[in-house]
Amino acid sequence: MAGSADFDLYRPSEEHDMLRDTVRALAEAKIAPFAAAVDEEARFPQEALDALVASDLHAVHVPEEYGGAGADALATVIVIEEIARVCASSSLIPAVNKLGSLPVILSGSENLKKTYLGPLAKGDAMFSYCLSEPDAGSDAGGMKTKAVRDGDHYVLNGVKRWITNAGVSEYYTVMAVTDPDKRTKGISAFVVEKGDEGVSFGAPEKKLGIKGSPTREVYLDNVRIPADRLIGEEGTGFATAMKTLDHTRITIAAQALGIAQGALDYAKGYVQERKQFGKPIGDFQGVQFMLADMAMKLEAARQLTYSAAARSERVSAGSAKEDLTFFGAAAKCFASDAAMEITTDAVQLLGGYGYTRDYPVERMMRDAKITQIYEGTNQVQRIVMARNLP
């Protein structure tokens, strides 16, 4: 049958199913009990980090040669999805570790990989990604942070905004301008360490959702770093950043899937227990139609995301035939839109209870919103898709 071979390339294997069972059990036992408090107190989910590190699930994407699990893209998606099902903030630990370190994996020297991927794989450090700035969001090419060569060093000055896990991560991939006359071709990528002199952080942002994942500005004030912390060649940073996002937008789709699955699971249970007019509200056709639509959208989003993950893996293996830019953007856009709709419907199904913090679906709805915004707004994703139609 036409297309069946391609389907087999992204259908989860028995090993993927076993991984899902493992992560789900850990998430329900070690992460879910703290999710509400993490949100309410807007504190970093340390319990989740400890549990993930103990099980080697905090950065499964790191290649085996650098001490990691060497998980494929679909396995990474499943890990993030299952954690997000109970706590979106906690799912940003493996997701942002991949986002921050992937530029090093894609373009870094062997020395950089050995220096920074090993501690990441061991759980001794986390990795963040510094692209956006106060005046450079969707137009990342308009960044103003500068890196000036000074002998065997570079000196960095600037401000990065909306940096996930800033202040907690030890390592930061920082995009900075090395040649202002070349716009995007004058942007380079560097590894900056939290302990480098001149690195500091702003106050945590007061956010609608993912409150357990700190989002802060990163200030670079005459930060002097060795020249060998340049990722790739000068002027290739923006290209590396875009290649990175092709892969990691799929992890945001995974996060959206998990949030949506958690909301659907809770709503399904609730409508069987909640009785009105003498019977469970789940027996009413109007409620059944809502659940059917939620499940349909979720499954469509999952299939698109898993297909994109398979393409990501084949691109990583050297295939030049994949439309990863289109499919990565499509997965992120579709899954996040679906998550927003599904979580909103879950709140509706719980009625007044859904609107209170005594039930988890309002948190899931708040958490879902950011998946439509970060790593490129969904309006930008549609521009990307239109320019890369398969």
Which domains are delineated in the chain?
4-122 (1.10.540.10), 127-235 (2.40.110.10), 238-387 (1.20.140.10)
Q: Of 78, 81, 74, 31, which Cα lies nearest the Cα of 54? A: 31
The reported pTM is 0.96
- Kindly state the tokens that stand for 271: 């409508």
**186 half-sphere exposure, CB direction, 13 A CA radius:** 15
For tokens 């909640």, the residue is 274
CB contact at 8 A, 156 and 200: no
d(CA 195, CA 213): 20
Active site residues: 375
pLDDT in tens, 282-313: 999 999 999 999 999 999 999 999 999 999 99
- Rounded to whole angstroms, how far apart are CA atoms 64 and 58? 14
Residue (of 189, 171, 173) closest to 232 by Cα position: 189
Residue 276 CB partners (closer than 8 Å, separation 6+): none
pLDDT at residue 9, rounded to an integer: 52
Q: pLDDT tens digit string along 185-228?
A: 999 999 999 999 999 999 999 999 999 999 999 999 999 999 99
H-helix or E-strand spanning residue 276: strand 275-276
- pLDDT for the residue 295: 98
Are 212 and 38 a contacting pair, CB within 8 Å? yes
